[in-house]
Structure formats: structure tokens, C-alpha cells
Amino acid sequence: MFENLQNKFQKALHILKGNDKITEINIASTMKEIGRALIDADVNYKIVKDFIHRITKKSIGKKVFTSLNPKQFIIKIVHDELVKLMGEKTEKINCSKNPSIILICGLQGSGKTSFSAKLAFFLKKKNKSPLLVAADIHRPAAIDQLEFIAEKVNIPVFSLKGNKNIIEILDKSVIYAYEKKRNVIIIDTAGRLSIDKIMMEEIIQINKHSHPDEVLFVVDAMTGQDAINTAQSFSRILNFNGIVMTKLDGDSRGGAAITMSSSVGKPIKFISNGEKIEDIEIFHPDRMANRILGMGDIVSLVEKLQDKFDEKRTKKIYHNISKNRFNFNDLLEQIQQIKKIGNIKNIISMIPGVDRFFSFNDGINQKDSLKKIESIIYSMTHNERKNPKLFTDIKRKERISKGSGVTLNHIDLFFKQFDDINKIMKKINVNSGQKMIKDFISKMMNQKNSI
């Protein structure tokens, strides 16, 4: 997600490197490149023009704090403007009532049914007891699909197959939720190929009857500007609370996600970036801006890791790091932990610095990169794994290259990147449990300022 934009922004900002002052001349090329990057990402021309204008106005003639260089200064301004464009605040969903009702709507194929199940799974992990309601009375296959996904994660689905009376389905689902003590009711409604009269009448009827606490409109990020147009049209008919953007893992250029909220006047509340049930994230404009600027999104990362990481093993690794003893066994363990998390690409793109480490095999996907790293480490002796310093000896590297089938060039790159990671890791001095994670976040957040 946002990879292209991220690369182009980094190149644009690099132009400023080495300058000690911001002038109209040296900022012009950076701004031109940033503008071009946004247009390539499918951001509307007028929005880009305003964006560039605001940044230029904010930066020229401003005194740069002595502790910052112009590049850092501009990063901060671009970051703040991106956050504004993306809606500024993180907007939570309203599900504090018992039961709370969440209505999910959107066009057919937008990812509505998958999202309903993802949201239920997400809320279940937050100790809620969700009930999914299959309210697509037009497509029996949609009911089966919802049941199929929900069953795998043990979430109940209420449906009345063959019953076309939507009011009866809604009423009975609420009774069922009370009986089964479910405190969040998620209603997956029927979609259409486009917003038409029948769809709108039906959704208005469902909305009126169910009094939802939250109405979410799901859009497919791959459809770019169309996603914005659809959300705008829908908002004229139903006053929904928030937007869900799906398929941000695809090769969508990301522009719709950046400008959706300011164009529609509604916040993006969730994004979905994969087909798996856990590929759902709360949309945080500030963290998203960090990601676009390549600062990494360490807070989202930690939230994900908290769920899946084996705390004992991680604690041991951090203990080693704090004692300056991070070695190849630790790296191997980290890789095995990362592999457990699932969507490796999403995770890796969130870790500042680490993304470079895993892309050392040009054109090879991250899973294969991980395998390569593992094979390098497996070719080491036990002693070598514990003592990275032994690799000042070129003969050892040659032997590893032969054993792992990885070229000597890549082996060199691997060691260089291991050193880089080690440097980042050493800055993280953590002790245990919650404190470990809090320190980890704050250290990483502080690193933002030292870019």
C-alpha cells in the first residue's frame, strides 16, 4: 500500500538534502515532484494544487529551528498537511450500547461481506460478542459466504434463508441477539452494481427500522475516484457515519484514501488491506501520513504484534538487545514470529528500516526473502550464530554463500543490513511486558524526529 507514493515522496524530499535554508528555488523542485507523485496516485488536480500551495506558503521564509534541517522541516509540514487531508482525527466506531447495531452498506463487490466478518472478528478480539446478520435478501450466495467466513472464526450468523421480508429478519435477529447475549449486531446488507433507487429504498427502510448506532459505507480503493463519487452520492441519500476502504493492498494508487474524507466530508474509520479475516485496521490519519512519508507505522505494528507475539520469547530477545547481544539466533526467532503473523508484507512495511532489509532480493517477494535469510542463518555454525563479529573473516562469508546458495554480494548486503538493524535495535532499551511495548513505541516515535 502506498509504495509508489512513498518512493516518490522520498525522492522528492531527498532533493532538499544538504541545503541549510529553505528558499523559493530549492523548494520548487521538491514541491513539483510531490505534486506529480500525488497526481500519479490519482489525487484530484485541484486538491494537489491547494496542497502544494499550503506547504509552500508555510515553509518559505520560516525560520528553521536549529535542531532541524530543511528536509526534516518540510517532512513535518507535509506530514501535518497530509494528516489534515486525511481527516485529522482517528474516529472510533460507536458500539458501547448493549446491543449496538452496526449497518454495513456498499456496492456489490466492494468487500462488504468480507468486511462485516472482519469487523466481527476485530470486535471479538476486543472482548465484544458480535452477531452477524445476513440481510442480503437478493443473493442467497451472500448468506452462504458470510456463514462460511464466520464459521472459521466461530462467530454466529443470523439468517432466515428464503425469507424476503427484511423487517422480519431484522426483528428476529435482535431477539436472537438478546437470547444469545450478543452485544454487537452487524448487519450485512445487499449491494448493487451501482447506487440505484431500489437499493436506496431498501437501505433507507433498514436504517429507519433498525436505528443503527453506526452506519458504515464500504468502498473499493481500487476504483479510485469512482470510490469517492459513489460515497458522495450515497451520502446525499443516507447520512452514514464513516467510510471503510477495502483492497488497499492491491495496486490501487492510494489517492482515494488520501482525499476521500475531505471530499466526502465523512471520516474513513477502517481500512482493509487483504483477504484474510485479520486484514482490518482502524484508520489513523497521522499514522497513515507516517507510512506515506516512509517513517513507518510502529504503533499499528505493535498493536498487531501484541496479539500474536510470544511475549516470553520476545522478552528474551529484547533482553539480548539491551545487553548488546542481538545475534543471528535472535533474528531467526524474530523471522519465525513475523511469519506467524500472516500478512508479512503489511507488517514489514510498517517497520522503519526493516522494509529495506527484506527487499534485498530485488523483485523477489518477502516470503522468499525471509526464506533466503533463514537459509543464510541455517548455513552458519552455532558459534557463528551467536557471534556476528566472526564475520569480519571473508572466508566464513564465502562458505555461507556456498552453503545457502546466496550470492556473495547478497551475503554482504545481508550483513550490512543486519548491522543497520542492530543499530536501530540497540536504541531500544526495554525491560518487560507492557513497559517493554510502551518504551518500544515511544523510542520509535522519537526516532521520527531524528530522520
| Footprint on this chain of ligand GDP (rule: CB under 6 A) | 106, 108-114, 145, 191, 246-247, 249-250, 272-275, 279
The residue (of 110 and 241) whose beta carbon lies closer to ligand GDP is 110
Minimal distance, residue 249 CB to ligand GDP, in Å: 5
Minimal distance, residue 188 CB to ligand GDP, in Å: 7
The residue (of 279 and 355) whose beta carbon lies closer to ligand GDP is 279
Minimal distance, residue 145 CB to ligand GDP, in Å: 6
The residue (of 59 and 113) whose beta carbon lies closer to ligand GDP is 113
The residue (of 82 and 190) whose beta carbon lies closer to ligand GDP is 190
The residue (of 244 and 348) whose beta carbon lies closer to ligand GDP is 244
CA distance 41 to 418: 33
Minimal distance, residue 219 CB to ligand GDP, in Å: 10
The residue (of 273 and 334) whose beta carbon lies closer to ligand GDP is 273
The residue (of 247 and 266) whose beta carbon lies closer to ligand GDP is 247
Minimal distance, residue 245 CB to ligand GDP, in Å: 8
Closest-CA residue to 260 (of 239, 244, 274) = 244
The residue (of 201 and 275) whose beta carbon lies closer to ligand GDP is 275
Minimal distance, residue 217 CB to ligand GDP, in Å: 11
The residue (of 249 and 355) whose beta carbon lies closer to ligand GDP is 249
The residue (of 218 and 437) whose beta carbon lies closer to ligand GDP is 218
CA distance 186 to 6: 35
Q: How far apart are the first and last CA of the chain?
A: 22
| CB-count exposure of residue 169 (10 Å: 0-12, 13-18, 19+) | buried
In sequence order, which residues have a C-beta less than 8 Å from that of residue 313 and are 6 or more positions away? 333, 337
In sequence order, which residues have a C-beta less than 8 Å from that of residue 86 and are 6 or more positions away? 257, 258, 261, 262, 268, 283, 285, 288, 289
Minimal distance, residue 117 CB to ligand GDP, in Å: 8
Minimal distance, residue 297 CB to ligand GDP, in Å: 17
Minimal distance, residue 204 CB to ligand GDP, in Å: 19
In sequence order, which residues have a C-beta less than 8 Å from that of residue 99 and are 6 or more positions away? 131, 174, 177, 178, 182, 183, 184, 185
Pairing of strands 184-189, 130-135: parallel
Minimal distance, residue 319 CB to ligand GDP, in Å: 37
C-alpha cell of residue 202: 431498501
The residue (of 75 and 117) whose beta carbon lies closer to ligand GDP is 117
Minimal distance, residue 210 CB to ligand GDP, in Å: 18
